[in-house]
Chain A
Amino acid sequence: MTDDWNDDAIEYVQAIADTKLILSHRYSEWMLSGPALEDDIAGASAAQDEIGHVRQLFEKLSDSGRDPEWLQGDRDPEEFSNAACLDDTSDTWTEFVTVAGVTERAAWYLIDSIAHEDFDGLGQRIGQDEYFHLEHLDARLSHQAEENPEAVEEAFAAAAAAALALIGPATFDADTDPLVQSGFTDRSAADVREGFKRHYETLFEETDVDPSAVDWDAPDEASWNETRRRIGDGHVDPDVVDALGGVKNAEYARA
């Protein structure tokens, strides 16, 4: 079924899957630290959903030739293609909600853009989960924007830059985006970026958060890493990779 994915398509889905994988880890770090028990329950539920999405995306990647063990975590930190804003754990709840909000939204927009038949039903089912995740995260983000606009503005500028790099450079329009050209997606990075920007302009409209603090033209295509869909060579900590692979659990099981 997936033998007709080209390299661009494989790297695109890899970046979505890795972003969701690290995001689920970040959810698990925060699921006992939200301001209310209900936030923690929503976070725990989202972490489980995200792992479920990753499992299916890894299945597709495996079908298209990626080694299942490599996918599951038998790889170096710099081989993960997650959105850069997930590299480090968030210092505050406001930062976490901002990072989770923009990466969930960007990853969902990328999945929703896939026109390949392998995503029939799969994309729809992920979208059903994302409705609840994004409703909670947007509600939280707009609440934090009322309470602490300076902190949200700062966190949003940093996280949105990483999300825009995940989506792709602004120069990828309908005529130049290689994924649109190959028919794997039905809308260009430029179109997705526009929808992303419009969403947050509306969300922050009634607040003191100024979305123009974001560099909406970045990243520059020349410095963009097309494999990892980001700028720079940052990566998650090796401890995160160990945790994802269950290295310590495996040692315990052998003892």
Chain B
Amino acid sequence: MKYEVFARIRAGDELIHVGNVDAPDDRLVKTYARTTFDEEDWDRMVAVPRDELIEVTGAQMAESPMVGEQ
């Protein structure tokens, strides 16, 4: 399962996206994310399953009425 990883260096900073990691489950992703992104001594790091992300952007165009309904 793909997870998106967010982290911050200092308490109070915004969490920023640092990358993604593939892990078998929610428990192992903790070790996998820590070992993959170990270049900083993070204040906080979280991982979010990619499937749980809410799509905000998308087709930016008003819906057309379907052909045949006219």
Q: Which residues from chain A sit less than 8 Å from chain B, CB to CB?
A: 36, 38-39, 41-42, 45, 132, 135-136, 138-140, 142-143, 146
Inter-chain contact B24/A38, CB cutoff 8 Å: no
Kindly state the separation between the CA atoms of A142 and B26 in the bound complex, as whole angstroms.
11
Check A143 against B35 for contact (C-beta < 8 Å). Answer: no
Give per-residue flags for B10-36: 1 if the beta carbon is below 8 A from chain A beta carbons, else 0. Answer: 000000000001111101101110111
Contact between B24 and A132 (Cβ–Cβ < 8 Å)? no
Would B31 and A135 count as touching, CB distance under 8 A?
yes
The closest CB in chain A to the CB of B32 belongs to A38
Known: A132-B31, A138-B27, A140-B28. 6 other contacts (CB 8 A): A36-B22, A36-B24, A139-B28, A139-B30, A143-B24, A143-B28
Chain B residues near A143: list those with CB within 8 A: 24-25, 27-28
- CA of A39 to CA of B30, assembled, Å: 11
Q: Distance (Å) between the CB of B23 and the closest chain A CB? A: 8
Residues of B18-70 whose CB lies within 8 A of A: 21-25, 27-28, 30-32, 34-36
> Which residue from B23, B35, B36 sits with its C-beta under 8 Å from A45?
B35
Complex formed: what's the CA distance from A38 to B31 in Å? 7
Distance in angstroms from B42 CB to nearest chain A CB is 13
A222 CB to nearest B CB, Å: 40
Residue contact A136 to B25, C-beta cutoff 8 Å: no
